[in-house]
Amino acid sequence: MLAKLTVKNQLTLPKAVATRFAGVEYFDVSTDGSAILLKPLRPSKADEVRQHLADLGITEQDVTDAIAWARESH
């Protein structure tokens, strides 16, 4: 398989490679001096929690308000 470097220094991964990493948006890029190494980065647990909260419509202000409410003496 071949990947071509564009004039904007971008590489397009061949479909056969890219499909093996479904859902991966970012790769860690490094080199060993003679090869380029790409390692898929998976979302962190914190990112997953943030996304879940966003999906539920919970905002930062909602969290701040909940903490303030919990800290009030009842």
Give me the pLDDT at residue 51, please: 87
Per residue in 46-65, pLDDT (tens digit) is 888 888 999 999 999 999 99
State residue 55's pLDDT score: 94
Specify the pLDDT at position 42.
79
Question: Which residues contact residue 13 at a Cβ distance below 8 angstroms, ignoring those fewer than 6 apart?
Answer: 3
Tokens 């220094």 -> residue: 9
The pLDDT value given to residue 74: 64
Q: Which residues of the chain have pLDDT under 50?
A: none
